[in-house]
């Protein structure tokens, strides 16, 4: 690991925090992980991200950087020695950014909706939407990855990190609802990709285990509502 | 103007479209503007942006790029000869990206809310929120611009484009509600910046005139509701 002065304020189950951890791992940058306790915010967090008051925050040389994908781009631009996270071609970069924004703005809210939506009809509509999202991402995988192992080609890149950080949550949702979202028959590219991504050295100790997320979600559901 | 093969699908009053136009002007790239008619979507738009079906789309050498700030970054990365739109320092780039996302995710929805909110109390709360946003952006101006003319320093940069594209809409809102949002006393930095930005050669023929936006908004308000 390269010598660095990097702290990450986060929590293990957060996909947004996981993105920062994966990017740092890919670049072989060591970092101190400062766990934020569930339900409270540390003084350091409030001071470092006064606008959103949210994790992740990465503090590098005393300077805080916020927002997961902005942090990932910062990591790419500071540690230029490691493997590239963004493609070198401007069009490929634009595509990676486009689909990463799609994951955040569309897929993730729909996936969350699938858990929180009540009523059978609404649940079925939400499930249909998640499945459509997966088909779109299958297409993006083919186009961005150009037939290789990852969205980033031969190695894990920006869109792998953006989407892959949700893999634990996708699997937890599959398990709890007894459904298949990343389906070997319907989205074979994503199916193989998910296996490769999840077992990659930079990822495997970062992405939370499915069973732990199941437990966490059950615990959160059992909390008395405010 | 440099020789290019660039088409922009857009509409004059759209701040998102204006971002693309300003970035291309800054880089001295000529382009063909294909006006999308209000209330309908062209075949070319549907084909070029099948996911979101939204303007702006920039088509460069036959390839479509979508989402305004992704297009601006693409322009920066393709036409490297012109003035830099993003700062060279990774931390400064992260700050510009952070505040640009803030403008899109927080300021613009609040500004729109100020017009659409009903009830005096809710309107007062929305106005308070917009004013708080302006104070935050005044602080960002000081930090990002380092005492110079623009958020980008000596020249117009990424955050100038992201925030400045809304200037016509800010002024229209000020005029229609008879209020001050960018206030000479409370946000003197932004006040001077807005004058400089709006009169810049790359901007002045792009940002819609306040009176035209007032007319447009009145016309839209008068339409029968679907």
Instruction: Tell me which of A53-62, A118-127, B138-147 is least confident.
Output: A118-127
CA distance linking residue A26 with residue A21, whole number of Å: 9
For B128-151, the pLDDT digits (tens) are: 999 999 999 999 999 999 999 999
For B72-122, the pLDDT digits (tens) are: 999 999 999 989 999 999 999 999 999 999 999 999 999 998 888 888 899
Contact A65 B136 (CB under 8 A): no
Mean pLDDT, residues A33-55: 96
Superfamily of domain A6-78: Glutaredoxin (3.40.30.10)
Comparing alpha-carbon positions, the chain B residue that sits nearest to A87 is B77
Please determine, for residue B2, whether its predicted confidence score (pLDDT) is greater than 60. no
Give B-chain residues touching A60 at CB under 8 angstroms.
Answer: 91
Tokens read off for B222: 């008068």
Of B71, B77, B136, the CB nearest to A51: B136
For chain A, what percent of residues have pLDDT higher than 90? 88
User: A206 with A25: CB under 8 angstroms?
Assistant: yes
pLDDT at A1: 46
Residue ranges of domains in chain B: 6-78, 90-215
Q: What angle do CA A75, A80, A81 make, to 5 degrees?
A: 120
pLDDT at A142: 95
Contact B77 A70 (CB under 8 A): no
pLDDT at A184: 95
Strand-pairing partners, residue B60, are B6, B63
pLDDT bucket at B59, cuts 50 / 70 / 90? very high
Contact A70 B136 (CB under 8 A): no
For B158-199, the pLDDT digits (tens) are: 999 999 999 999 999 999 999 999 999 999 999 999 999 999
Of A60, A77, A102, the CB nearest to B93: A77
The answer to whether A6-78 and A90-217 have equal CATH topology is no
| Mean pLDDT over the full length of chain B | 94
State whether the Cα torsion B168-B170-B176-B180 is positive or negative. Answer: negative
Residues 6+ apart with CB under 8 A from B47: none
For A164-175, the pLDDT digits (tens) are: 999 999 999 999
SS3 content of chain B, % helix, strand, coil (to 5): 55, 10, 35
- Laid out side by side, the sheet with A32-35 consists of A32-35, A6-10, A57-60, A63-66
Among all chains, which residue has been given the structure tokens 């994908």?
A69
Contact A90 B67 (CB under 8 A): no
For A90-122, the pLDDT digits (tens) are: 999 999 999 999 999 999 999 998 888 888 899
Tokens read off for A20: 């920062």
Which CATH fold would you assign to the domain A90-217?
A: Glutathione S-transferase Yfyf (Class Pi); Chain A, domain 2 (1.20.1050)
Contact B101 A51 (CB under 8 A): no
Mean pLDDT, residues A122-138: 94
User: A98 with A158: CB under 8 angstroms?
Assistant: no
Coil, strand or helix at A14: coil
Q: H or E stretch including B214?
A: helix B210-222
pLDDT at A3: 60
For chain B, what percent of residues have pLDDT higher than 70? 98
Mean pLDDT, residues B36-49: 95
Give B-chain residues touching A136 at CB under 8 angstroms.
Answer: 51
Give B-chain residues touching A91 at CB under 8 angstroms.
Answer: 60, 63, 65, 74
> CATH number of B90-215: 1.10.760.10, 1.10.1760.20, 1.20.1050.10, 3.40.50.720?
1.20.1050.10
pLDDT at B115: 85
Peptide bond into A78 cis (omega under 30): no
pLDDT at B1: 47
pLDDT bucket at B220, cuts 50 / 70 / 90? confident
């Amino acid at each position: 690991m390269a010598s660095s002065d990097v702290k990450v304020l986060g929590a293990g189950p957060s996909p947004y925090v996981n993105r920062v951890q994966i990017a740092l791992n890919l670049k072989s940058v060591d970092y101190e992980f400062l766990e934020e306790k569930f339900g409270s915010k540390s003084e350091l967090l409030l001071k470092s991200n006064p606008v959103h008051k949210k994790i992740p925050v990465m503090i590098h040389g005393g300077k805080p950087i916020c927002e997961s994908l902005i942090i990932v781009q910062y990591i790419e631009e500071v540690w230029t020695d490691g493997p590239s996270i963004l493609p070198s071609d401007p069009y490929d970069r634009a595509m990676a950014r486009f689909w990463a924004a799609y994951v955040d703005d569309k897929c993730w809210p729909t996936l969350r909706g699938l858990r929180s939506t009540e009523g059978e009809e609404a649940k079925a509509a939400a499930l249909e939407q998640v499945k459509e999202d997966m088909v779109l991402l299958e297409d993006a995988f083919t186009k961005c990855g150009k037939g290789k192992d990852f969205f980033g080609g031969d190695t894990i890149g920006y869109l792998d990190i953006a989407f892959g950080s949700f893999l634990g949550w996708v699997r937890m949702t599959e398990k709890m609802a007894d459904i298949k979202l990343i389906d070997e028959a319907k989205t074979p590219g994503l199916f193989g990709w998910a296996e490769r991504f999840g077992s990659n050295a930079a990822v495997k100790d970062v992405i939370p285990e499915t069973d732990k997320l199941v437990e966490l979600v059950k615990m959160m559901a059992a909390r008395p509502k405010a």
